[in-house]
Amino acid sequence: MLIFLDTPEIEPLKAGHATGLVDGVTTNPSLIAKSGRDFKEVIAEICEFISGPVSAEVAAIDAPGMIKEGKVLAAIADNVVVKLPLTIDGLKACHALTQEGIDTNVTLCFSAAQALLAAKAGASFISPFIGRLDDLGQDGMELIHDIRDIYDNYGYTTKVLAASIRSAAHVKQSAMAGADAATIPPKIFDALYNHPLTDKGLADFIKDWQKTGQSIL
């Protein structure tokens, strides 16, 4: 499963990139606004060291506007993926941009029917929001299963990108459900490899090794 970091913050992205485990990045207008930086400059800087997909979202809400903005964003770097909302205008823009060879990420997906339409429009990625469904008392993971089944039934190549990830358990469950990728905040990425038993075991090994007085070098 591909792992994307869901942040526009450069330092956490560089730290994640240094592990060799991060495959891409997702951003949105809300995250960029918090950084206080110029949107296009942030995307360009990220693309300088992240070679995988970098999602950059349009601000327009009408199809012609999304198409124009999408072309501007796609011109920033070859690995930019234009992020579009799952509205009828977003689907129109997705189809138009796909026809021009521009990769797209259709976001704010909350139903399998929406995901079906995104695939038909040619989306490169579909982003179902797991956590937000869970917040409403629904089973967000069930949506991942449903989308996976539909895409496999018809051979759609749109990648399922699990979003609104709230925990390491969400990442595990998404992988088990067949998601192609998950986009996660840096703190959740850290939680994937941190475990108290790992820390305890390592401390015990170091203590025992030191008692031997040996050196590998």
Residues identified as active-site: 83
d(CA 89, CA 70): 13
The 8-class DSSP code of residue 167 comes to S
Nearest to 3 by CA among 187, 180, 190, 195: 180
Would strands 2-6 and 181-184 be described as parallel, antiparallel, or unpaired? parallel
Residue 139's alpha-carbon distances to 103, 146, 147, 175, 200, in angstroms, are 29, 11, 13, 16, 35
Phi and psi at residue 83, in whole multiples of 5°? -95, 130
